[in-house]
Amino acid sequence: MTRRTKRLRILVADDHELVRRGIRGLLRERSGWTVVGEATNGLEAVEKANRLKPDVAILDISMPDSGGLQATRRIRESVPTTQVVVLTMHESDQMVRRVLEAGALGYVLKSDLATHLVKAVKSVSGGKLFLTPRVSDIVLKAFLAAGNRSEPTEHSQARPTRREVEIIRFLAQGKANKEIAAELGITIRTAETHRARIMLKLGLHSLAELIHYAIRHKIFTPPNARE
């Protein structure tokens, strides 16, 4: 039996026509995937996402009139069913964290479009985090470098959402992804995605650091510390 390709409705936002044309060409390779709208700036991307409610929005980070980061935040707030892939030329751990903090699940370097865009769209449409191998290496190196610190340094401007606080509490209690998924009524894959995003967003590098964060911020109290 032939396996059906998942039907996807996609919004493409980039201020360069040649880039949008190239993206359309790549997406056409997948049966059932349709570009339902295009935008040339951040404001237009938000407006079309609200109106068209695509499954995936592909956003250039450097668009005029509200850039990709702000557009991502607004789209994720107003159309939470739309997952976002951000396109950028920036190769930095700090930018990866900013993108994930804004609510995107995919981070693709423009130089890697031809190789990784289709994979990114497929991954995020299923609620799965996607970083290209080169970006993953950048993040891993930053984690290893930070591992030499005696105390973790949190990102001062990063704040967990209400759902992320719930997940931090469950993780600090020692619950596995499967248990968290059952508690919150979400898939195991979504629970894994939340966990990865939390670690990157807060600048945490291990479960131990996450537990320390939860205790410091009164999200979790160890049993032997309760009165």
The CATH number of whichever domain residue 194 belongs to comes to 1.10.10.10
**2 falls within a domain:** no
Predicted pLDDT at 226: 43
User: 156 and 204: one domain?
Assistant: yes
User: 95 and 165: one domain?
Assistant: no
Q: Nearest Cα to 59, choosing from 115, 5, 103?
A: 103
User: 115 and 153: one domain?
Assistant: no
User: 126 and 184: one domain?
Assistant: no
- Residue that finishes a domain, picked among 141, 175, 202: 141
Number of domains in the chain: 2
Q: Rounded CA gap, 209 and 133, in Å?
A: 25
**225 falls within a domain:** no
**3 falls within a domain:** no
How distant, in Å, are the alpha carbons of 35, 152, 190, 219 from that of 216? Answer: 46, 12, 26, 8
CATH code, domain with 81: 3.40.50.2300
Cβ atoms of residues 204 and 167 within 8 Å: no
**172 falls within a domain:** yes
Predicted pLDDT at 145: 64
Q: Which residues, 6+ apart, have CB-to-CB distance to 188 below 8 Å?
A: 177, 178, 181
User: 98 and 159: one domain?
Assistant: no
pLDDT digit string (tens) for the chain, length 227 residues: 445 556 899 999 999 999 999 999 999 888 899 999 999 999 999 999 999 999 999 999 988 887 899 999 999 989 988 999 999 998 887 888 788 878 888 899 999 999 999 999 998 998 777 888 888 777 767 655 655 554 445 555 678 888 899 999 998 887 888 889 999 999 888 888 888 889 888 888 777 788 878 888 889 876 544 44
**Which amino acid is present at 77?**
E
- Residue that finishes a domain, picked among 141, 175, 204: 141
Q: Rounded CA gap, 198 and 159, in Å?
A: 10
User: 102 and 163: one domain?
Assistant: no
DSSP result, 56-115: EEEEETT-SSS-HHHHHHHHHHH-TT-EEEEEES---HHHHHHHHHHT-SEEEEGGGHHH
User: 137 and 82: one domain?
Assistant: yes
pTM of the model: 0.70
- Residue that finishes a domain, picked among 141, 158, 187: 141
Predicted pLDDT at 196: 86
Domain housing 72? 8-141
